[in-house]
Amino acid sequence: MSPLSANSHVPLVCTSCHERLQGPFICGTCGKLQPTEGTDYFALFGLPRKLLIEMAGLERKFLRLSWKLHPDNFVNATEQERELSLKRSSELNDAYRTLKDPFARVEYLLAIEGERKEGEKKQQAPPELLEEVFELNESLDDLREAKAARSDVATLKEKLHAAEKSFSVKLAEVDAEMQATARDWDKALDAGEEASRKKIMARLNEHLNRRSYIRNLVVSVAKELAEA
């Protein structure tokens, strides 16, 4: 088995020629594809598990790695290597899509840190929003009934537009809170503060659950208004 780096599953030396690797996917010495199974998305791009990523740098790394895995570079390779290059290219695309989205990035980080189970999304209304959510659901029901009866829906639509605006503001507030907590995570990671990291991940989980709930409300209202 190849030696691995301390913080990831990326091999340090080529599995074929055993020369030291300069990056994931392909050996710069012999050109052989490398195993990436178990390698997290951050490690594929040579990044620490931080949440604030410089997007221009991420894109440059993505484009460089995409070219290395391009089919044109494997025209004379074996069928197995060509298939492997396609598989590695797909892995790279998945990693890039995840890391470039700030919310998918948070959810992925929590998953690989063992703090968020796949598909975990709490849909209970936040306690302080219960009354507003109850009123919103009543208004949505009233709008559906009015549409079915072909009644005037102008007043109801105006009320729902106001609710949509209110919850959109709350969504922006959650996003700002998550950004601040992401900065806290990066600082704790640099400082090696394990206890702080656990607490920060719990906060990130709360932000994601709250954001998911509010965003679903906004989407539902927008859909009803579009169909009214």
The pLDDT value recorded for residue 21 is 66
SS3 assignment, position 125: coil
d(CA 145, CA 61): 53
The pLDDT, as a whole number, for residue 120 is 52
Of 127, 91, 121, the C-alpha closest to 107 is 121
Predicted confidence at residue 200, as pLDDT, reads: 97
Per-residue model confidence (pLDDT) at position 23: 66
Q: What is the pLDDT along the chain (228 residues), one digit of tens a residue?
A: 333 333 444 557 877 787 776 667 776 777 777 777 778 999 999 899 999 999 999 999 999 999 988 888 888 888 888 888 888 899 999 999 999 999 999 999 999 999 985 545 556 777 888 888 888 988 888 888 887 777 778 888 998 999 999 999 999 999 999 999 999 999 999 999 989 999 999 999 999 989 999 999 999 999 888 887
- pLDDT at residue 4, as a whole number: 36
State the DSSP code for 14.
-
CA atoms of 212 and 44, how far apart (whole Å): 28
What was the pLDDT predicted at 5? Answer: 38
Query: Which two three-digit tokens encode residue 79?
Result: 């069928």
The pTM score is 0.81
The widest CA-to-CA distance across the chain, in whole angstroms, is 76
Amino acid letter, 71: P
Catalogue the E-assigned strands of 3-46: none
Distance of CA 49 to the CA centre of its chain: 13
